[in-house]
Chains A and B, each alone.
Chain A
Amino acid sequence: MIVAEQKPVAEILRMIDGYRRILVVGCGTCVTVCMAGGEKEAGILASLIRMAWAREGRLSPLIDVSEATVERQCEWEFLGDIAEKVAASDAVLSMGCGAGVQAMARMFEGKVVLPALNTKFIGMPERQGLWTELCAGCGDCVLDRTGGICPIARCSKSLLNGPCGGSQNGKCEVSKDIDCAWQLIFDRMKSLGRLEALGTVLPPKDWFKNRDGGPRKVVREDMLL
């Protein structure tokens, strides 16, 4: 899933300064799961904005903060549901991931759509309240060679040929709070009895599949209408 977290409220308030009618839009998918931008969070953020504006004495009948949540902000078909509310606002504060914000900006041409979240990574909930990155969407997966643990996303230097000289006691040189991805890979390959596979030199990565200029596309000819 995509993991995101809310921007600091002060930053959000600065962003919406000058607009009078704000629509806060939550997304019911990934950001609901990571508790960053679902229905509940949209309600809380809308209240926080109302309170902040009330403190500043800015509330009047002309000023309005409302909220709505769609199933998935990153798909056109769900955005139609909120078209009326969007039309009635000066600015939309999206609590979707970066894709949600951009989908809305494209759908509602001429409307200001602002991001309320910082989209962080593709990952999973490690435990209650903790999400970690697992995949950097590099476009050319090597997990078959690394025991199902990603060296691109999880090694601080995205190394392909084993741990750097800073790996110690299972931790990354960057911080004692970061597991060294290569220690994890080593342990796993060892338990799988596949250590000899780590003796092969992997050639330079084809980053073209990661950042090939312009947005990447996935085309399934068989599915095109």
Chain B
Amino acid sequence: MRSGSNLEKVLAHGDFAVTGELGPPQSNDREVVVKKAKAYKGYVDAVNITDNQTAIVRMSSIAACAIAAGLGLDPVMQMTCRDRNRIAMQSDILGASALGIKNILCLTGDHQSFGNHPTSKNVYDIDSIQLIGMVKGMRDDKRFLNGEEMKSEPRMFIGAAANPFADPFEYRVVRLAKKVAAGADFIQTQAVFDVPRFRRWMEMVWDHGLHERVYILAGVIPVKSAGAMRYMKNDVPGMSVPDELVRRMEQASDPKEEGIRICVETILQLREIEGVSGIHLMPIMWESIAPVIVERAGLLPRPVYDQDDM
């Protein structure tokens, strides 16, 4: 075991993993985190806590992770390269580890122009691939990025993101291969609406044998309304949404129910694809729907392991 996190155990056991995404509040209100975390409890194997998602200031991922861990959930600390340099990142990784956080998701981060502080100065000292390598070096070589040895190493299960829908399409698998070479243990993808394109991407993944070297969790988003579906299609960079799904949402008498149905159908299709080790649920501002989706997708009960299992 690299980290001994619950997520790592599930994947190493060969179970189909379920992770969920939790956005911390734009305040210091811990109850918001508690409430969202409780909605996930028993329904997911790990919960990703976003890091100032879309460049909007929120409670830090590290703090919200600690709250979730306290409630018995397995947190995945997201870390973007946008806001910190390599000194701050390594410091936060040590701190997170000391707080019992065992998973990290290494991200480039949305550009600050999307958020509520567009005039801020971005950092981008290292990129997400270099971040993966840095965490791996800390864990496996017990060394800081500068090569200095550390006394005890942070045991982290290292995640990275992949977007099968961004361009240049041909380069996407090369970039995934770079992430794997840098040390990624698991991958969470951008939300899949366009299953055929995702499958084509997976074929490229097979060709490179990457599904045998890294666990791939496919992202899914339950959408509440036709407007939200159209927004995903037209305004979210790096997203592919087939017209057919927009039409289904527009024609539905109960759009919420239709959104759940589309999400569950997508999960069932993704499950059939070789090399997909699990799903990552991103119910943006709709965390309470997670149990319904996980249940209807036939993913209950979630496996439970003893403290010292494996």
Q: State the A residues within 8 Å of B (CB).
A: 156-170, 173-175, 180, 182-183, 186-187, 195, 198-199, 201-205, 207
Q: Can you list 27 A-B pairs with a CB-CB distance of less than 8 A?
A: A156-B111, A157-B108, A161-B127, A161-B130, A161-B178, A162-B171, A162-B175, A163-B166, A163-B171, A164-B108, A164-B128, A165-B190, A166-B111, A166-B166, A167-B166, A167-B238, A168-B165, A173-B238, A174-B113, A183-B168, A187-B168, A198-B174, A201-B181, A203-B133, A204-B86, A204-B125, A204-B126
Please measure, in the bound complex, the distance between the C-alpha atom of A201 and the C-alpha atom of B137, giving whole angstroms: 14
Chain B residues 172 to 205 lying within 8 A of chain A, measured CB to CB, are: 174-175, 177-178, 181-182, 190
Contact check, A165 vs B108: say whether CB atoms are below 8 A apart: yes
**Chain B residues with CB below 8 A from A157, complex form:** 81-82, 108-109, 111, 122, 124, 127
- Min C-beta distance of B164 to chain A, whole Å: 9
Give the A-binding residues of B (Cβ under 8 A).
81-82, 86, 108-111, 113, 122, 124-130, 133-134, 145, 161-163, 165-168, 170-171, 174-175, 177-178, 181-182, 190, 237-238
A160 (CB) vs chain B CBs: closest residue: B127
Instruction: Check if A163 sits within 8 Å of B111, measured CB to CB.
Output: no
- On chain B, the residues within 8 Å of A159 by CB distance are 108, 124, 127
The winner among B109, B167, B181 for most chain A CB atoms within 10 A is B167
| Contact call B130/A165, Cβ cutoff below 8 A | no
Assuming the A-B contacts A157-B111, A157-B127, A162-B178, are A180 and B167 also in contact, with contact meaning beta carbons closer than 8 angstroms in the complex? yes
In the complex the two chains form, is A173's CB within 8 Å of B111's CB?
A: yes
Q: Which residues of chain B come closer than 8 Å to A201, judged between CB atoms?
A: 129-130, 133, 178, 181-182
> Which partner residue on chain B sits nearest A159 by CB separation?
B127
Asked if B145 and A204 sit within 8 Å, CB to CB, the answer is: yes
The docked-state distance in angstroms from the alpha carbon of A135 to that of B128 is: 22
Residues of the A chain whose Cβ atoms lie less than 8 Å from the Cβ of B167: 163, 167-170, 180, 183
Q: Name A's interface SS.
A: loop
Residue in chain B with minimal CB distance to A176: B237
Q: Name the residue on A nearest B130 (C-beta).
A: A204
Closest to B129 in A: A161
Q: Which residues of B contact A160 (CB under 8 A)?
A: 127, 130
Cβ contact of B238, chosen from A162, A166, A202, cutoff 8 A: A166
A207 to B85, CA, bound (A): 11
Instruction: Please name the residue on chain B nearest to A180 by beta carbon.
Output: B167
B237 touches A163 (CB 8 A): no
Least CB distance, A41 to chain B, in whole angstroms: 28
> Which residues of the other chain, A, contact B190 by a CB distance below 8 angstroms?
165
Which residues of B have CB within 8 Å of A168?
165-167, 237-238
Q: How far is the CA of A125 from the CA of B178 in the complex (A)?
A: 36
Q: A162 — which chain B residues lie within 8 A by C-beta?
A: 129, 171, 174-175, 178
Distance from A65 Cβ to chain B, minimum over Cβ atoms (Å): 34
**Given B81, B122, B168, B170, which contacts A167 in the complex, CB threshold below 8 Å?**
B168
- Which B residues touch A183, using CB under 8 A? 167-168
Q: Kindly report which residue of chain B lies nearest to residue A157, judged by CB atoms.
A: B124
Q: How far is the CB of B33 from chain A (nearest CB, A)?
A: 26
Chain B CB within 10 Å, residue with most, of A159, A164, A170, A183? A164
